[in-house]
Amino acid sequence: MKLFSGGLEERRIHPLLLMGGMNLDFLCIHPFRDGNGRVSRLLLLLQCYHLGFEVGRYISLERLIEENKDRYYETLEQSSRGWHDSRHDPWPYTNFLLYIIKTAYQEFENRLGDMTSPRGAKAQAVREAVRRQIGEFRLTDIEDACPGVGRDWIRQILTQMKAASELRCQGRGRGSRWHYFPNEGSNSE
């Protein structure tokens, strides 16, 4: 940690590159019997905050790494080869972390763009996503079809459509399944 803070003070290396190197070093040291990956991702998030890159407050870096876990392990293996002899190449892993941060900012920007939608656009998007469903569907199917729309808002629209007899629900909670009946309800908004 002292090398990281010293590197920040010297300003010879960009802070994001220092962060990638420190994260790689932590993983190569492997200080714990279990949980090193989780702790390294927590350290990554904290270092991002420390450096002023706060996208992790809004977009899960953990999720993005999980979605790219094959590349994560591949770059970690490439960069850790020869680490104990100081003959390693930190660039594959560092580039991967930079890609994750860039992807998080892109996703955040897309979400902000969704927020500027006209009033009622999200409700309309949910209704249209429901109407495109064939057979039974789950709440998560609508979430996937409507990125940027919160789960509570989707539930509220589903409840409204159920009250209008456009939908029926079987089950409760996570196991609930919905069915759309286009001829039985009103199509009015």
How large a percentage of the chain has pLDDT more than 90? 53
CATH placement of domain 121-180? 1.10.10.10
List the structure tokens of 186. 């009103």
Predicted structure pTM score: 0.58
DSSP 7: H
Dihedral (C-alpha) 28, 8, 102, 113: value to the nearest 10 degrees?
A: 140
Q: What does the pLDDT look like over 9-43, one tens digit per residue?
A: 777 889 999 999 999 999 999 999 999 999 999 99
Is the Cα dihedral 97, 103, 106, 108 positive or negative? Answer: negative
- The CATH number of 2-115, from 1.10.3290.10, 1.10.1740.10, 3.40.190.10, 1.20.1440.120, is 1.10.3290.10
Q: What does the pLDDT look like over 145-187, one tens digit per residue?
A: 888 788 888 989 998 998 998 898 888 877 788 988 876 544 4
